[in-house]
Amino acid sequence: MAKDELATIFAPSTEPLRVTVLVLSGCSIMCVASTIDPLRAANRIAGKTIFDWTLVSPDGQPAITTSGLPVQVAGRFESGAQADVLLAVGGFGTRYETASQLAARFRKAAKSARVVGGIEAGGWLLGRAGLLNGRSATTHWEDLEDFAASFPEADIRPDRYVIDGPILTSGGASPAFDLMLYLVRSRLGAAVALDVASVFIYEQARAAGDPQPLVSLGRIDRQDPRLAQAIRLMESHVDQPLTMSAIARRVGLSARALEQLFARSLGETPGAYSLRLRLNAARRLVLDTVEPMAAIAARTGFSSASTFSRAFAAAFGEPPGRMRRG
């Protein structure tokens, strides 16, 4: 890995930047697009190749995304590939990728890159390769707790994206877009970055340190800050749910007024919304992890595994164990 002072790619320059993107099956097509399309648009606006990217996969075969759409690649990822920027784009299955050969190849390729990054779950590959030790990093909010436990030598943050010297990590598709816009702005200026954002009608670019929300509120936080505050309180207490009366007090409403606000804005009671929020979080843990059901119940605020199982079955038509097996 190049020294930090030599590694920065976030400086004004029109020199071509070589970018190798390792696409791992199971990633989101939106993460791939959010990584590549801002660079493509920047090239078009600049009228020259500023960003020269190559897509590769571990075996040279098309990477299959979560939507079933394949991503065509130029070939197999090789440890000797020369690139200024080496990025891994991963999905939830990446956390279980234990192939030491891939991590070793990635670690070797990283030595000749100026910057190495993980998009969404791509950070797990960086961690397996030993590249996060002593670094700050992030990943998708659903994985943050387990990510931090898996890589205790790293400082894991709930930020949208993190730049720590030559290591970049982002929390998902939208944060990856923000990161690429920041790269474009750093190298080509704010005007070009605005033009790139305008190509995609992207108006709400976020800063690196902005937190990753469990619920994307869109314009709700502008239309009614009290509703946004109530939802944020619910998502920050998934493991130990607050009573609706406590939430109402914190947002400056009566319990009745809170019910009316949720009914008017979302068409359901605050209690029903909170339960659905917790059950959706539980379903992701059931499908995307191997955690015991009792642990999932505790993490999503249920008093026992049996209570959790009944609520889960009522919501999704089958108990969590059967859904996992299926």
* 177 sits in which H/E element: helix 173-188
Mean pLDDT computed over 150-161: 94
Examine domains 4-199 and 220-325 and report if their fold is the same. no
What gap in Å lies between CA 148 and CA 259, rounded to an integer? 37
pLDDT of 1: 39
For the stretch 68-107, pLDDT in tens is 999 999 999 998 878 999 999 998 778 877 678 999 999 9
Domain ranges of the chain: 4-199, 220-325
pTM of the model: 0.76
Does the domain at 4-199 match CATH 1.10.8.50? Answer given as: no
pLDDT-derived band at 299, boundaries 50, 70, 90:
very high
Q: Are strands 161-164 and 167-170 parallel, antiparallel or unpaired?
A: antiparallel
Q: Are strands 167-170 and 155-156 parallel, antiparallel or unpaired?
A: unpaired
pLDDT-derived band at 138, boundaries 50, 70, 90:
very high
pLDDT of 213: 65
- Whose tokens are 């944060």? That residue is 175
pLDDT of 107: 95
Q: Are 57 and 63 in contact (CB under 8 A)?
A: yes
pLDDT-derived band at 236, boundaries 50, 70, 90:
confident
Q: Are strands 17-23 and 85-90 parallel, antiparallel or unpaired?
A: parallel
pLDDT of 93: 78
Tally of residues, the chain: 326
Whether residue 63 has pLDDT greater than 60: yes
Q: Which CATH architecture has domain 220-325?
A: Orthogonal Bundle (1.10)
What gap in Å lies between CA 128 and CA 136, rounded to an integer? 15
pLDDT of 3: 42
Distances (CA, A) of 246 to 19, 243, 258, 261, 271: 50, 5, 11, 15, 12
Q: Please spell the DSSP secondary structure of 90-133, one letter per residue.
A: E-GGGGG---HHHHHHHHHHHTT-SEEEEEETHHHHHHHTT--T
Alpha helices by DSSP H, listed for 189-319, are: 190-199, 220-223, 225-236, 244-250, 255-266, 270-288, 293-299, 305-316
For the stretch 37-57, pLDDT in tens is 999 999 999 989 999 999 999
